[in-house]
Amino acid sequence: MNKEPVRIILSEDELPRQWYDIRSDMVNKPAPYLNPATKEPLTFEDLTAIFGEEVVRQELSFDKPYVDIPEEVMDIYKMYRATPVIRAKRLEKKLGTPAHIYFKHEGENASNSHKLNSLVPQAYYAKKQGLKGIVTETAAGNVGTATSVASAFFDLECKICMVRVSYEQKAFRREVMKLFGADVISSPSTFTEIGKKINAEFPNTPGSLGCAISEAAEIATTQDGYAYVLGSMFSAVLMHQSIIGLETKKALEKYDIKPDIIIGCASGGSNFCGLASPFIGEKIKGINDYRIIAVEPEACPSLTRGKYAYDFCDTGMICPLAKMYTLGSQFVPSPIHAGGLRYHGMSPIVSQLYEDKLIEAVAISQTSAFDAAALFAKTEGIVPAPESSHAIKVAIDEALKCKETGEEKNILFVLSGTGYFDMPAYQKYNEHRIEDYKVSDEEIERLAKSIPTVE
């Protein structure tokens, strides 16, 4: 066995060639999406009215634990993968912990986050289906950027419905998407029926994610040759993200390293489940045991304080019902800077894993996440995305526990992205203006009442 390097990077011929679908190994499968009107499970026909065919096929079938990654997708993966597993030696030293801290770095691609891992296959399948374009919605800009990059790779048209306030304030994100050829639409727009309606009613609205979703869905259903692509929630997306965990596992095994604790930030759950699913699979099958922790913000605590029930995926209550841990579709999160962690629900897979006690969850404050981010930046030389900082915070906490107990645990987390587009948030941090938001018990209770009763 060679000496363990600081960065473990699989070679091209060591790259995994298949994704892992954890549903095949789950004893209790995630519940299907339901039609909000009929309360019946959504069919292939229902879903392909909006989404691409192959993605829907993957969403609806989960008999195979491993799914081949198409050659054309592998060709793109090879341009930025394998991503490194990095030992955070300087962070360990700073903390004075006997623990070994490892992180999988998913921020070194043009989209600056892990989102590209799923948008590449989604774009590929759309192209293969003969579609002419893909459409999605974006607020923080992560999904939008990944979508624009993936569409450029496959010569697809690309429409991004960007929440108006983000369109105006996140100019850098907007311009990256445009550089990659995307048509970035300030939502509500004047192109869609729903956009026109909302603009007429609320001319000065800053827009909302709910509205942007509705606009993107309208484009996907009414314009010829467009498919809606997704950044999270869908089981197919979580499966594509398993590339993170498969690479990590293989990289660590090369040096005989077994993680004791596995950590990821979670909103829909795509980067968290992407890292954790191959390890959870082993846990289910009794091959190995791991502590696996999903981290969410106190400002949006769907796992730790939400209800496990069927709920609407959108504020407008027009999208399908998903069985998930949810705060209620009417939840309006505080304006925290981890824009990717503001969703009211958790993906059906991660929700079921939590219900089955295969994973833990913890909610942390915004200030503690930024403190962890600053310490990480100064020691490891990487500016983390505010979302990823939630995972860093818990990794640090666990490493400090090891300092107390003297345990030499292996702590692994996923750095889902970098924070170079989040400097306004870091400016606030530098100026000591980051605030904490905690949802009150009254609010949790009030919102729970909006969750429909589905038998």
Is residue 5 a contact point for a second copy (CB under 8 A)? Answer: yes
**Least separation in angstroms between CB 70 and a second copy:** 16
CA trace torsion 127, 180, 236, 326 (10° rounding): -140
Is residue 149 a contact point for a second copy (CB under 8 A)? Answer: yes
148 or 267, CB closer to a second copy? 148
> Among residues 33, 272, 325, 429, which is the contact residue for a second copy, using CB under 8 A?
429
Helix (H) or strand (E) holding 290: none
Tally DSSP H helices, then E strands, for the chain. 18, 15
Number of residues binding to a second copy, judged by CB under 8 A: 48
**Least separation in angstroms between CB 128 and a second copy:** 18
87 or 283, CB closer to a second copy? 87
51 or 103, CB closer to a second copy? 103
> Among residues 11, 38, 204, 440, which is the contact residue for a second copy, using CB under 8 A?
11
Q: Which stretch binds a second copy (CB under 8 A): 7-15, 195-203, 274-282, 439-447?
A: 7-15
Among the listed residues 103, 155, 175, 212, the one whose alpha carbon sits nearest the alpha carbon of residue 421: 175
80 or 308, CB closer to a second copy? 80
**CA–CA distance, 145 with 116 (Å, rounded to integer):** 8
Q: Which amino acid is at 437?
A: Y
**CA–CA distance, 204 with 168 (Å, rounded to integer):** 13
| Whether 70 contacts 124, CB under 8 Å | yes
Strand partners, 310: 323
> Is there a cis peptide before residue 188, judged by omega within 30 degrees of 0?
yes
Residue span 12-31 as binding mask against a second copy, x where in contact by CB under 8 A, dash where not? xx------------------
Q: Which stretch binds a second copy (CB under 8 A): 17-25, 174-182, 334-342, 390-398?
A: 174-182
Is residue 423 a contact point for a second copy (CB under 8 A)? Answer: yes
Is residue 179 a contact point for a second copy (CB under 8 A)? Answer: yes
DSSP 180-248: TT-EEEEES-SSSHHHHHHHHH-TT----HHHHHHHHHHHHHHSTTEEE--SSSSHHHHHHHHHHHHHH
Q: Which stretch binds a second copy (CB under 8 A): 96-104, 109-117, 130-138, 189-197?
A: 109-117
**CA–CA distance, 10 with 7 (Å, rounded to integer):** 10
> Among residues 57, 60, 72, 110, which is the contact residue for a second copy, using CB under 8 A?
110
**CA–CA distance, 305 with 439 (Å, rounded to integer):** 9
Residue span 262-301 as binding mask against a second copy, x where in contact by CB under 8 A, dash where not? ----------------------------------------
Tokens of 46: 């229902």
**Close Cβ partners of 379 (under 8 Å, ≥ 6 residues apart):** 88, 90, 91, 93, 94
**Least separation in angstroms between CB 427 and a second copy:** 4
Residues that bind a second copy (CB under 8 A): 2-3, 5-7, 9, 11-13, 75-76, 78-80, 86, 89-90, 108-110, 112, 149, 152-153, 171-172, 175-176, 178-181, 374, 377-383, 420-421, 423-424, 426-427, 429-430
